[in-house]
Structure 1
């Protein structure tokens, strides 16, 4: 979980999260791939790169956050933001990308968005620390529901019947995932996790609920702010990372334990190098997600990208089973399958909704009826 997940994916990124903001920024046109044969114009390579970077970041974050004694979440997120900022600044100096220069007036206007971002990525990191990757991935679907109804309340949108069906599947898959999670011991022979009521309300699910709310508020607020500031993708990435660093650093220094004993606990000598390497890789992979997201839209279309985001949930959930030896149960597999289907149904609903809007005639062009007169 990093600052770039907020608009790249999709929340698991979102994700999710990460399509509404891309549409608002209007940085990449649909179906703009050229016919010139090259690696950079290959849809398959773009899609695989996006999926790979998404899985890489989630797995490395889980490796660090899932450690038995790791509790420096603010520090981890701060390191990731610094790495992202250094990377995009290096790319800018090398002429690979461009974004607007720092402006204090714009920074002041954008600062509340960065504060919301910190709340979102912190609650996400806490949820990922407690939950398995499959459960975390499935529950991220609930963010879509929060954002959809947030748009209805804030922007006067609507929810189609097909979208409601997908929401029902998302809720059902989340319920099955939670039931399977609490019924399965975290470790072999763990008798404390007996599936009781209180175990269902453990810290992981509380943090996940908070993350869904924070994610929706952040996306809706940034959607409004992007329209006002006319930020492009790299402008958003630059300001999000730059302004979140001081917040994360202050929170880490004030709220986290920086005693020598706790530092040694978080970075034990036997795997200190691997933990630091995972932190660096997760920061770099979040930059890759931002780049490959735009790459996918450029060489395919935003519709195909939406479908890839839905399909990506399956390998993302499976990665948790492969890399962290999460127990494979009937309930867990059913929840993953339902979550996967719900994502496809939601994507199909959004595609149909977009097509309907495109063929609708503007009200001002309709001939008045006798009832209207």
Structure 2
């Protein structure tokens, strides 16, 4: 069982790393900044592969009632916000910066649990949220490659992530499985992003994209769709296989590896102050992992 958990965890980390690096390459190096089309493509591939997996018996998707689907609709809207804003932010920000800002979603979740659900919060978790918030708050003032548009979309992204996790935790037990939730997210995202591609101008602007007929662009887009699907599957598998504390530890490990390797592969200017902000954010997430393991 331990070997199986390690294999699933390593698979998750590999998919996480490859997915982020591929998306960053398409968004920043190739500069394919048409989020409705890029994210619409990824969710279309994910939805089709999940549907095929369901029909072949590899994934279990039960018939759900209309009430369950309608109750999950707000989460699907937030999911679209997550991937759209995340795509816009990642095209402008370095991966370590993006991940540090992404982690602030935990502050929103912790604040909701403390203020609205009156849950007891451990000192470690409080310190963690303070470190995460301080790291993200100091980053804009110490980022040599500061891009206000990137930070704006990162803030939208982290609020959507926080709200999505709150909705996910408040759902009725056994109402929808993780796979069923993702299936609905994919279906809703494909429709909404397809409709939004015309008003946003992406549908016709993409015709001017210089690499539209290049094989490296086609290959990167196909890889991003497949990797996103396998990342989703490995995430669900890992979440159901290990304790919450171990799950948080694997996510932290994947983020550290991804952030570290991205510095070597993509242009990023590092100053001592910026490194300090990133390390403070890493310390905050490490404390969060410790608090999860302590409580599980």
Identify whether the pair has TM-score above 0.5, normalized to the shorter chain.
Answer: yes
1:321 aligns with 2:267: no
CA distance in 2, matches of 1:257, 1:306: 36
- Within a 5 Å distance, the mapping from 1:279-290 to structure 2 comes to 279-290=221-232
CA distance in 2, matches of 1:218, 1:90: 26
Partner residue of 1:247? 192
Match of 1:341 among 259, 264, 283: 283
Judge conservation of contact 1:307–1:347 (CA < 8 Å) in 2.
yes
CA distance in 2, matches of 1:154, 1:267: 50
Partner residue of 1:169? 131
Judge conservation of contact 1:120–1:215 (CA < 8 Å) in 2.
yes
Aligned-partner SS, 1:66? helix
Name which one, 1 or 2, has greater alpha-carbon Rg.
1
CA distance in 2, matches of 1:267, 1:330: 37
Judge conservation of contact 2:86–2:153 (CA < 8 Å) in 1.
yes
Q: CA offsets, 1:88-138, max 9 Å, x none?
A: 112122221211136555433332321221122211111111111110011
Match of 1:99 among 49, 61, 70: 61
Match of 2:12 among 31, 37, 50: 50
Higher helix share: 2
Structure 2: stretches of 5+ with no match in the other structure: none
Aligned residues: 296
Task: Label 1:158 to 1:278 Cα distance change in 2 as closer, same or farther (>3 A).
Answer: farther
CA distance in 2, matches of 1:297, 1:241: 19
Judge conservation of contact 1:84–1:284 (CA < 8 Å) in 2.
yes
CA distance in 2, matches of 1:284, 1:107: 26
1:332 aligns with 2:294: no
- Shift in Å, 1:229: 6.5
CA distance in 2, matches of 1:77, 1:217: 20
1:236 aligns with 2:181: yes
Partner residue of 1:365? none
- Shift in Å, 1:289: 1.9
- Shift in Å, 1:68: 6.6
Judge conservation of contact 1:313–1:340 (CA < 8 Å) in 2.
no
Task: Label 1:298 to 1:147 Cα distance change in 2 as closer, same or farther (>3 A).
Answer: closer
Partner residue of 1:358? none
Structure 1: stretches of 5+ with no match in the other structure: 1-32, 36-40, 187-198, 356-373
Match of 2:155 among 200, 209, 212: 209
Q: Which stretch has the larger CA shift, 205-214 or 322-331?
A: 322-331
Partner residue of 1:125? 87
Match of 2:164 among 218, 232, 247: 218
What is the TM-score with the length of structure 2 in the denominator? 0.89
Query: What's the RMSD between the two structures over aligned residues?
Result: 2.4
Judge conservation of contact 1:267–1:275 (CA < 8 Å) in 2.
no
